[in-house]
Amino acid sequence: MSEHQEASVAKFKSKEAIIGIVGLGYVGLPLMLRYNAIGFRVLGIDIDESKVTRLNAGQSYIEHIPADKIAAARDSGFIATTDFSRVSECDALILCVPTPLNKYREPDMSFVINTTDALKPYLRAGQIVSLESTTYPGTTEEELLPRVQEGGLVVGESIFLVYSPEREDPGNPNFETRTIPKVIGGHTPACLEVGIALYGQAIDKVVAVSSTKAAEMTKLLENIHRAVNIGLVNEMKVVADRMGIDIFEVVDAAATKPFGFTAYYPGPGLGGHCIPIDPFYLTWKAREYGLHTRFIELSGEVNKAMPEYVLSKLMDGLNNSGKALKGSKVLVLGIAYKKNVDDMRESPSVEIMELIEAKGGIVAYSDPHVPVFPKMREHHFELSSQALSAENLANFDAVVLATDHDKFDYELIKQHARLIVDSRGKYRAPVEHIIKA
């Protein structure tokens, strides 16, 4: 064991280490709170000046992370900064930056690369660098390793490099950062040892794998498993609907089998920063090896078609009452990508809104978690959330239930909406003015 390795392990075990978290979003903030709660000094680094200002004022910009937790962390030593020179103070640097796709559905590694380049001048002996962003197998070796070693540090001896994918599930009350097992792969056995010392303090169970590549592939398999199974059940939904069968009844019945079946429920498409995006990292990397990932591409096609399917159901419903979509007023319920959160990334609801608008419909939305439509890279709506009242609901020609937040009054909606297009299976009993989508 090198002296640097020994010193680093001891520092994490004694909680004397300073933890640097780079990227203070849905992944970085919960991790910061966890390290802060168990007595570590945490430095948060982000390029977004407004985020840093809000955190240092004890405010939160993520709905399910309360401001009082941020304020408590600040009062017990947490500081946020945009100053990358402070990287040299940190013993661990945990990278939680976005890895989106570009318009050709290829990995956009600019956040990871630019962040690593910004850290580079301030790296020193004894540090560990951990990448948590979801990415293709080989990223840590190909992109981080050469950059970390550029200044003469040697990975595995004087500095340590690991990949440990995030596994946050916002809005899920059954799991928190501490209780979700953490997969980790090191570039060398020494890197893995230091990584286990870093994460073992904060997470109940650490799962070691043999390499950074294996850890990268693990995260992709988890998300591809979901994407493929959701694609399958979305395809089954279309078939079941044509046959006059309720797919939700079928999934519930199948889920009573105590082995060999996992329940996945259909919806209006895929949303969030993981499931619609991550599978295509593997598709892209597999091409380098002359391979085609057909399951991934097929499920992507099926899931991508779901907003159009919801639109067709809306048009059918309006048609039945002698109306065209053009000129009709449509209220979309729920524009976050999943229930009970405020996260809008890749939300199929937004795509449904655009499709309605493109056909000449007049679109509005209601979402208790998103009071004003946010500025998004690719979508632009100047809208605020509509209050749900008997009078307001009756004003719309149709209501599309896109995201089934618990805060919605489903009985009120059922009583006063003229037409409901239900893409989430909230209304199970057949009712004349409710269409399953």
Give per-residue pLDDT as tens, 353-369: 999 999 999 999 999 99
The reply to whether domains 3-209 and 305-436 share a CATH topology is: yes
* Residue bearing tokens 């056995």: 189
Give the model's pLDDT for residue 16.
96
Question: CB of 5 within 8 A of CB of 160?
Answer: yes
Question: CB of 230 within 8 A of CB of 275?
Answer: yes
Closest CA to 134 of 25, 281, 21: 281
Tell me the pLDDT of the chain (437 aa) as tens digits. Answer: 788 999 999 999 999 999 999 999 999 999 999 999 999 999 999 999 999 999 999 999 998 899 999 999 999 999 999 999 999 999 999 999 999 988 888 899 999 999 999 999 999 999 999 999 999 999 999 999 999 999 999 999 999 999 999 998 877 888 888 999 999 999 999 999 999 999 999 999 999 999 999 999 999 999 999 999 999 999 999 999 999 999 999 999 999 999 999 999 999 998 887 878 888 999 999 999 999 999 999 999 999 999 999 999 999 999 999 999 999 999 999 999 999 999 998 999 999 999 999 999 999 999 999 999 998 877 889 999 999 999 999 999 999 999 999 999 999 999 999 999 999 999 999 999 999 99
Residue 144 Cα distances to 85, 196, 230, 279, 352, angstroms: 19, 19, 33, 21, 38
* Residue bearing tokens 């390290």: 35
Give the model's pLDDT for residue 172.
83
Phi, psi of 125 (to 5 degrees): -60, 140
Q: Cα dihedral sign for 71, 75, 81, 84?
A: negative
Question: CB of 61 within 8 A of CB of 51?
Answer: yes
Structure tokens at 408: 């919605």
Give the model's pLDDT for residue 168.
84
Each domain of the chain, given as residue ranges in start order, spans 3-209, 220-302, 305-436
pLDDT digits (tens, 9 = 90+) for 87-105: 999 999 999 999 998 888 8
Three-state SS across the chain?
Answer: CCHHHHHHHHHHHCCCCEEEEECCCCCHHHHHHHHHHCCCEEEEECCCHHHHHHHHCCCCCCCCCCHHHHHHHHHCCCEEECCHHHHHHCCEEEECCCCCECCCCCECCHHHHHHHHHHHHHCCCCCEEEECCCCCCCHHHHHHHHHHHCCCCCECCCEEEEECCCCCCCCCCCCCHHHCCEEEEECCHHHHHHHHHHHHCCCCCEEEECCHHHHHHHHHHHHHHHHHHHHHHHHHHHHHHHCCCCHHHHHHHHCCCCCCCCCCCCCCCCCCCCCCCCHHHHHHHHHHCCCCCHHHHHHHHHHHCHHHHHHHHHHHHHHHCCCCCCCCEEEEECCCCCCCCCCCCCCHHHHHHHHHHHCCCEEEEECCCCCECCCCCCCCCCCECCCCCHHHHHCCCEEEECCCCCCCCHHHHHHHCCCEEECCCCCCCCCCCEEEC
Give the model's pLDDT for residue 358.
97
Give the model's pLDDT for residue 270.
87
Domain 3-209: which CATH number of 2.30.30.90, 3.40.309.10, 3.40.710.10, 3.40.50.720: 3.40.50.720
Give the CATH superfamily of 220-302.
N-(1-d-carboxylethyl)-l-norvaline Dehydrogenase; domain 2 (1.10.1040.10)
Question: CB of 166 within 8 A of CB of 98?
Answer: no
Phi, psi of 324 (to 5 degrees): -95, 155
Give the model's pLDDT for residue 272.
80
The CATH number of 305-436 is: 3.40.50.720
- Active-site positions read 274
